[in-house]
Amino acid sequence: MGGQCVRPGDAVLADDAGVRCMLMRGGTSKGAYFLAEDLPGDPAERDDLLLRVMGSPDPRQIDGLGGAHPLTSKVAVVSASGSPDTDVDYLFLQIGVDTAEVSDRQNCGNLLAGVGPFAVERGLTAPGDGRTSVRIRMVNSGDRALATFATPDRRVVYEGSTELSGVPGTAAPVVIEFQRADRPLLPTGRARDIVAGTPVTCVDNGMPTVLIAASALQVTGREAPEELEAAAHLAARLQEIRRAAGRLMGLGDIGGTTVPKLSLLAPPTHDGTVMTRTFVPVRCHTAIGVLGAASVAAGLRVPGNVGQDIARLPAAGERLRIEHPTGFLDIDTDTDVDTGTATDTDTDTGTGTGTGTDVDNGGGTSPVARRTAVVRTARKLFDGTVFPRPV
Ligand code: NQM
- What are the chain's domains? 14-180+376-386 (3.10.310.10), 193-366 (3.10.310.10)
pLDDT tens across the length of the chain (391 residues): 334 445 555 555 667 789 999 999 999 999 999 999 999 999 999 999 999 999 999 999 999 999 999 999 999 999 999 899 999 999 999 999 999 999 999 999 999 999 999 999 999 999 999 999 999 999 999 999 999 999 999 999 999 999 999 999 999 999 999 998 888 999 999 999 999 999 999 999 999 999 999 999 999 999 999 999 999 999 999 999 999 999 999 998 888 889 999 999 999 999 999 999 999 999 999 999 999 999 999 999 999 999 999 999 999 889 999 999 999 999 998 887 653 433 334 444 333 332 222 223 344 458 888 889 999 999 999 999 999 999 8
For residue 107, the CA-to-ligand 1 centroid distance in Å is 7
Q: Which of 69, 106, 376 to mutate to test the pocket of ligand 1 (most atoms within 8 A of CB)?
A: 106
pLDDT of residue 172: 97
What whole-number distance in Å separates Cα of residue 58 and Cα of residue 278? 24
Q: Which of 199, 263, 256 lies closest to 228, judged by CA?
A: 263
Burial of 383 (0-12, 13-18, 19+ CB in 10 A): middle
pLDDT of residue 366: 81
For residue 357, the CA-to-ligand 1 centroid distance in Å is 33
For residue 205, the CA-to-ligand 1 centroid distance in Å is 13
Q: Which of 8, 14, 127, 23 lies closest to 73, judged by CA?
A: 23
pLDDT of residue 367: 87
What whole-number distance in Å separates Cα of residue 333 and Cα of residue 369? 7
Backbone φ/ψ region at 336: left (φ over 0), alpha (ψ -120 to 50), beta: beta
What whole-number distance in Å separates Cα of residue 214 and Cα of residue 224? 13
User: Which value, to the nearest 10 degrees, does the dihedral of the CA atoms of residues 284, 25, 258, 231 take?
Assistant: -10
The per-residue DSSP string of 301-338 comes to: TSTT-TTTTT--PPPTTSPEEEEETTEEEEEEEEEEEE
Q: Which of 107, 257, 290, 372 to mutate to test the pocket of ligand 1 (most atoms within 8 A of CB)?
A: 290
The per-residue DSSP string of 85-98 comes to: T-SEEEEEEEEPSS
**pTM for the full model?**
0.88
Residues in the chain: 391
For residue 112, the CA-to-ligand 1 centroid distance in Å is 10
Between strands 74-80 and 29-35, the pairing is parallel
